[in-house]
Amino acid sequence: MCGVTGWIDFTLPLNEQERKIVLNMANTLGKRGPDATTTWTTDHVVFGHTRLIVVDPTGGGQPMTRKVNGHTYTICYNGELYNTEEVRNKLKEFGYQFQSHSDTEVLLFSYIHWGEGCVKKLNGIFAFAIWNGKKEQLFLARDRLGVKPLFMYRLGEGLLFSSEIKGILAHPSVQAKLDEEGLQELLALSPSRTPGHGIFKGMEELKAAHWMRVSKGEFECRRYWQVQSAPHTESVEDTATHIKELFKDTVERQLVADVPVCTFLSGGLDSSAITAFATEYEARQGRSHLKTFSIDYEDNEMYFIESAFQPNQDAPWVKKVSKAFGTDHYRAVIDQQKLVYLLKDAMKARDLPGMADIDSSLLWFCGKVRDHATVGLSGECADEIFGGYPWFHDPKKLYSDVFPWMNSVTEREGLLHTKWKKRISLNKYAKLRYAETLTEVPRLEGESGIAAKRREMFYANMIWFMPTLLERKDRMSMAKSLEVRVPFADHRLVEYVWNIPWEMKMLGGREKGILRKALEGVLPEDVLYRKKSPYPKTHHPIYTKLVTTALKNRLEKKESQLYDIFDYEKLQYLVESEGASFQTPYFGQLMSGPQLIAYLLQLDMWFEEYNVEI
């Protein structure tokens, strides 16, 4: 993986001074690519790139330029292609000659040959920019599910782009400003964001499954991929077989690398399935003892509180799966002080307040994994595509007029300072964004009632909740120079599972029942039917004390921006009650109490660190 950034302006010559600015922008992305930082310029274009070497150390350097029929093309790319050899062989049939075995060169020649249609040929995760010297045109594209990020900012007659917000903010002409829409994004929807929204004024993110073409006086953006609704005609047995074969192929494709690879292992269905197929593949390659990693919290065995959302701890299940597949397992245990200390680092990695200790623990964990491996496979996205979350099962949630993981919008609004209650409505904003989302849903002809509502829910999860988790995984892992791949986000799997009817997804009355059937004989039976448990959180009372004290100390500074946004007395009561006065989870299922306190702590740090102006 890498960091990409650039500046294009058809009205200005971009020379040495501008190259230095882009180099500074690229340097902010150094952790995404610690192995090399380079720039490339021509007339009105500057590219910057930071490289994390995963494939072809000598031949895959970037920005990469190739000349075809007298015209030059240059690429700046962040991602991995999992069908590199198939595309390479096809291009060889058309006469293309390769100088490396990197996927970067394959992607560049794909664009040269197929133009904008190249993105439909790709299986992978990517965000890239290509300068077309023949047409004097910039082409930007992002993968179908939005695994890899790409932010943009229109500057004068030109455009800035970067893998992360911090890269664009490093430009001297860009300021960290919030307008009313950005403030509503932050207060009503955070830590999620409206697709395409960059929070800061003027900031955009190229939407997943979209490309943009930039030429003199023209910006054109198009969607190139969408799930298609159609009747599912395969039997249960055939469906399970299809899922198994497709998922196995996906895992094996994503294990290809020239550096050490591992898997994240929680002992749940999704990560255990990845580990099972990875172990089998590694054995066929003559490599034994796949490395696996899990995270836990100091003293969680003493303080763990069972709930409907978090029915049991991971540790015993991790041990069982590791033993079953003979993995070389590392269990990382984070202490409470470290969890709090890293809240600021996690916020800076995301460039926004995020998921509190879930972010900071993942950031720390990725650092521990990076000590042993450069690439990791993780189980995100299975619950979004197979329907593993509680809101898929609750008719009240399905017929609601707002995102089901944002139950707290009314309570959020209740915290606001009076002046903001008069100017903005968090409820209206959240409902507006949900209504907009539902207009995009690819409908199935003749489908109605709860089945149609469930299809809406699957779509909202795919373009809202899934990207929030993918953003968390990308930023926390890349901040530790670790590449994380997500097999369940393979677009072929997403397309196939999209049309499997709910009754089949819930085979046997179990969430993700069809996936469990597909994995029969692959996993130990008790692991196969373990009840879903989300990414773990700390239950230690010391953590609550630590974050509460930290926020209380920050609030003693009367210049805190939080006082300009929230009601003073309600903030004080929230701190005194250690978060208990806010009963509804702030986001998702588990972000409540101490996690809300930690979020506000991140929010205050963010305003201060980024010098945010409202």
Q: Is there a catalytic annotation at residue 2?
A: yes
Among the listed residues 439, 549, 451, the one whose alpha carbon sits nearest the alpha carbon of residue 502? 451
CA distances from 212 to 127, 196, 206, 209, 239 (A): 11, 12, 8, 10, 36
Active-site annotation holder among 2, 262, 366, 381: 2
- Number of Cβ within a 10 Å radius of residue 488: 26
The sign one gets for the Cα dihedral 256, 262, 266, 267 is positive
Tokens of 487: 């097999």
- CA 228 from centroid of its chain's CA atoms: 23
Strands (E), 82-166: 124-132, 137-142, 151-155, 158-162
CA distance 243 to 233: 14
Helix residue ranges per DSSP H, 178-268 = 180-184, 236-254
DSSP per-residue codes, 511-563: TTHHHHHHTBTTB-HHHHTPPP--S-----HHHHHHHHHHHHHHHTSTT-THH
Q: Contact at 8 Å (CB) between 227 and 233?
A: no
Q: In the structure, how many helices (H) and strands (E) does the chain have?
A: 27, 17
CA distance 480 to 114: 35
What torsion, rounded to 10 degrees, do the Cα atoms 405, 169, 63, 89 define?
Answer: 10
Q: Position 73: which residue type?
A: Y
The sign one gets for the Cα dihedral 76, 122, 195, 343 is negative
Q: 3-state DSSP call for residue 443?
A: coil
- N-terminal to C-terminal alpha carbon distance within the chain: 34
Tokens of 315: 């540790």
CA distance 440 to 491: 18
CA distance 451 to 468: 25
Q: 3-state DSSP call for residue 295?
A: strand
CA distance 46 to 170: 15
User: How would you class 103 by CB atoms within 10 Å of its CB: exposed for 0-12, middle for 13-18, buried for 19 or more?
Assistant: buried
Residues 6+ apart with CB under 8 A from 469: 380, 381
Looking at the annotation, which residues are catalytic? 2
